[in-house]
Structure 1
Amino acid sequence: MAQRRALVVRGGWEGHRPVEATELFIPFLERGGYAVRVEGSTEIYADAAEMAATDLVVQCVTMSQISTEQVAGLRAAVVAGTGFTGWHGGIVDAFRASSDYLQLVGGQFATHPGKEPCERHGGEEDNFLSYRVNITDLGREHPITTGIADFDLLTEQYWVLHDDLVNVLATTTHPTREWHPWHRPVTSPAVWTRLWGAGRVVVTTPGHSPDVLAHPSVRAIVERGMRWATRTASA
């Protein structure tokens, strides 16, 4: 059996520590028998031969821009069976201006509600809330999340805009507080999969920083998502 090939693409906003975050998972991939290539830009997405030979793309690129040729190359690879996965802003807050990219992923970061205004002091902790990730009925049966119980985090809680082609494995609910403009609790997907052509997409919204990614449940979901998204024999 040919060795599986993983492509790690990282960069963008440094606040999500793209190098440190991805370095957490490269040893996992190598232990799993993947040949890992690391790139610091999305230029490689336009290399059709390289993308066709890639079984899994792990992306951690927050915000930034992507060219028409690059996003077309990524989409073509996923349609042909290359897996695509990532976490937090590295996948759902990437390339805001590219509608083709947003359609591929199936969801877009909108905001992360903050603490009560009087508790904010101007740092990133202003947006760190205690919240629960709830595994859905589908998630309790899916290989990525089976056996994982609902769990609590203290970090950014992503509010995500999404379509109904996503298969939601876990959710999180944003409560309403007196300083919020919304009038009822809002539930967002926290983990989802998406089938796109012959390819598989996996998104995990927790992952603001390496300590969150090191949480046992978050890490298990990310690592299982990598395995599940990897090109299958049917692709």
Structure 2
Amino acid sequence: MTQRRALVVRGGWEGHRPVEATELFIPFLERSGYAVRVEGSTEVYTDAAELADTDLIVQCMTMSQITAEQVAGLAAAVVAGTGFTGWHGGIVDSFRASSDYLHLVGGQFATHPGVQPCDRSGGEADNFLPHSVTITDLGREHPITAGIENFDLVTEQYWVLHDDLIDVLATTTHPTREWHPWHRPVTSPAIWTRHWGAGRIVVTTPGHSLDVLEHPSVRTVIERGMVWATRTASAS
């Protein structure tokens, strides 16, 4: 059997610890039989031959910029069957100026609501809220999330703008609070998949910090998502 090839693309805003975060998962990929290549730039997305030989792209690149040529190369690879996955800002708060990237992924970080203003100190914990991740009916049957129960986190709770071409495996609901301007609870997708051409995309929105990535349910979802997104035989 030909060895599967994974490409880890990392960088961008250092607050999400792109090197340390991806290093948590590279041993899993290697144990699972992947040859892993690591790149610190999206320039690799213009290398059509390299991406054609890549079965899975794991991206951890918060904010940053991407050229039209690079996003076109990434999208073409996914359409041809290369899997694409990532977590938190490394995939849904990437390349804010690129509508083509947003179209590929199907959802975009909008905000993470904060604690009551009088309790804020100016640090990242101002945006850490206790919240639940709720597995959907589809998620209870899907190989990525099957057997995982609803779980609670205290971290950033992503509010995501999205289209309806995503298959939502888990959600999280933002309640109404007196200091917020919305008037009814808002439910955002927390984990989703997307079929794009012959390729598969998996997005996991929890993952702001290493401790969240090491949460057993979050880590299991990310690892299963890597395997599920990987190029299938029919896409080869």
TM-score by length of 1: 1.00
> 1:36 & 1:231 partners in 2: Cα distance?
15
Does the alignment pair 1:115 with 2:115?
A: yes
> 2:183 & 2:99 partners in 1: Cα distance?
29
Provide the residue aligned with 1:82 in structure 2: 82
> 1:17 & 1:134 partners in 2: Cα distance?
26
Deviations 1:52-86 (A, max 9, x none): 00000000000000011100100000000000000
Letter in 2 for 1:176: T
Does the alignment pair 1:28 with 2:28?
A: yes
Does the alignment pair 1:193 with 2:188?
A: no
> 2:186 & 2:69 partners in 1: Cα distance?
36
> 1:41 & 1:175 partners in 2: Cα distance?
38
Provide the residue aligned with 1:218 in structure 2: 218
Does the alignment pair 1:10 with 2:26?
A: no
Matched-pair identity in %: 84
Residues 164-183 of structure 1 correspond to what in structure 2 (within 5 A)? 164-183=164-183
Give ranges in structure 2 of 5+ residues lacking alignment: none
Letter in 2 for 1:79: V
Instruction: Give how far 1:234 is off.
Output: 1.1
- 2:234 counterpart SS class: coil
> 1:72 & 1:122 partners in 2: Cα distance?
38
> 1:182 & 1:214 partners in 2: Cα distance?
32
Give ranges in structure 1 of 5+ residues lacking alignment: none
> 1:102 & 1:223 partners in 2: Cα distance?
23
Provide the residue aligned with 1:51 in structure 2: 51
> 1:215 & 1:41 partners in 2: Cα distance?
28
> 2:58 & 2:143 partners in 1: Cα distance?
18
- 1:234 counterpart SS class: helix
> 2:219 & 2:234 partners in 1: Cα distance?
27
Instruction: Give how far 1:216 is off.
Output: 0.1
> 1:59 & 1:178 partners in 2: Cα distance?
37
Provide the residue aligned with 1:72 in structure 2: 72
TM-score by length of 2: 0.99
**CA RMSD, Structure 1 to Structure 2 (Å):** 0.3
> 1:170 & 1:23 partners in 2: Cα distance?
25
> 2:14 & 2:131 partners in 1: Cα distance?
25
Does the alignment pair 1:94 with 2:94?
A: yes
> 2:58 & 2:41 partners in 1: Cα distance?
12
Letter in 2 for 1:115: V
Provide the residue aligned with 1:139 in structure 2: 139
> 2:128 & 2:21 partners in 1: Cα distance?
18
> 1:27 & 1:108 partners in 2: Cα distance?
29
- 1:43 counterpart SS class: helix
